[in-house]
Amino acid sequence: MSDIPKLNELEEDLLKELFNLGVGKAAASLSTIVTQEILLSVPKVEFTKSSAMVDLLNNNTSIISISQSIHGPFDAKSILLFPEHGGMEVVRQMLGSQLSDEAIADLHEEALSEIGNIVLNACIGAISKSMNTVFDVEIPKFNQASPEELLKVSNLLDSDTILLININMKLKDSDIEGYLAFVFSSESLKKLQGSLTQLIDSLS
C-alpha cells in the first residue's frame, strides 16, 4: 500500500476544512430548497483503495451513487454514495412522508441526482475557489448497484486511490450516513498533493 499517500497533519486538516466548507454550503442549499433544517458534517477524511471502499459498503444489498467527473489541475471522479435504504430515507424526509413508497421509488433517481449534484457542486466549488482554479465538471450520473458491481458501473479500478469522506446527514427524523468519494489515478493524486502543498504555501 505504498502508493497510498500519507498526508501530513496540515494537509489532512486542510482537506477536511475544504470539505467541511463544501458540505456546509451544500447543507445550506438543501435546507433552502426543502425549507427544513438539514445538517451535514464531515467526521472523517481518509485515503483508501476502491476495494477497501467496497468492503466498507459490503453489508448493504444495494448502493446508490451519484457521480460527476472533474477535469482541470487534477482529474478526479467525485461520487456521493448512499446505501439504498439511506438514499430512500433522504428522499422521503426531503419530500415529505405523506408520499407513498411507490412515489418515492418513482422519484428517487431524479431527486437523488439533484441532491448529489448540489452536494458535489458545493464540494468541487469549495476546492475550486480555495485553489483559485476552475474545473470542467460533467453533469451527474445516477447509478444503483450491488457493492460488488459498484466499481464496474462507476468505471473504477480496484487499484484506484480514493479520498473517502464520511458524510453524516441529519434530517428531522433521521440520521443518515453516506460517503463522498474522490477517485484519483496515481498521476492525478500527485497533482492533488502538489496543489495542496501550493495552497499551504500560499496560506503560510
Partner 1 sequence: MDSNALTIECYWNLVNNINSGIIVLNSEKKILHWNQWIQDHSQFSLNTYKDQLLSDVFPDLKNSRIIAAIDDALELGLPSLISNIFSRTPFALYNSGNFNIDQSNNNRIQQTVNISRIKVEGEKPYCLIQINDVTASTVREQNLEQQVKERKEIESSLLKIETRQRAIMQSMIDALIIFDSNGFIDAFNPAAEKLFGYSENDMMGDNIAFLIEEFSGVKELRESIELMFELGIIGKTKECEARKRNGSHFPVDISISEIELGDEKFFSAVIRDITDRKQIDKIKKDFIATVSHELRTPLTSIRGSLGLLCGGLIADVPKKALDLIQIANNNCERLIYLINDILDIEKAASGQMSFEFRQFDLKTLVKQSIANNESYATQYNVNYQLIEMAKDLTVEVDEHRFQQIMSNLLSNAAKFSIAENSVEIIINFQNDFAEIDVKDYGQGIPDKFKENIWNKFTQADTSTTREKGGTGLGLAISKTLIEAMHGNISFTSKEGEGSTFQLRLPVAKNKTT
* Residues at the interface with partner 1 (CB under 8 A): 29, 32-34, 68, 94-95, 99-100, 102-103, 106-107, 110-111, 113-114, 117-118, 121, 124-125, 128-129, 134-140
Q: Which CB, 49 or 92, lies closer to partner 1?
A: 92
Q: How far is the CB of 74 from partner 1 (least distance, A)?
A: 14
Q: Which is nearer to partner 1, 2 or 35 (CB)?
A: 35
Least separation in angstroms between CB 107 and partner 1: 6
Pick between residue 5 and residue 125 the one whose CB is nearest to partner 1.
Answer: 125
Query: Are residues 77 and 151 in contact, defined by beta-carbon separation less than 8 angstroms?
Result: no
C-beta of 120 vs 183, nearer to partner 1: 120
CA distances from 155 to 81, 92, 121 (A): 15, 29, 20
Write out the chain in H/E/C secondary structure.
CCCCCCCCHHHHHHHHHHHHHHHHHHHHHHHHHHCCCCEEEEEEEEEEEHHHHHHHHCCCCCEEEEEEEEECCCCEEEEEEEEHHHHHHHHHHHHCCCCCHHHHHHHHHHHHHHHHHHHHHHHHHHHHHHHCCCCEECCCEEEEECHHHHHHHCCCCCCCEEEEEEEEEEECCEEEEEEEEEEECHHHHHHHHHHHHHHHHHHC
Which is closer to partner 1, CB of 37 or CB of 106? 106
Q: For the CB of residue 55, give the shortest distance to partner 1 in the complex, in Å.
A: 31
55 vs 138, beta carbon nearer partner 1: 138
- Evaluated on CA atoms 55, 59, 61, 63, the torsion sign reads negative
How far apart are CB 99 and partner 1 at their closest, in Å? 7
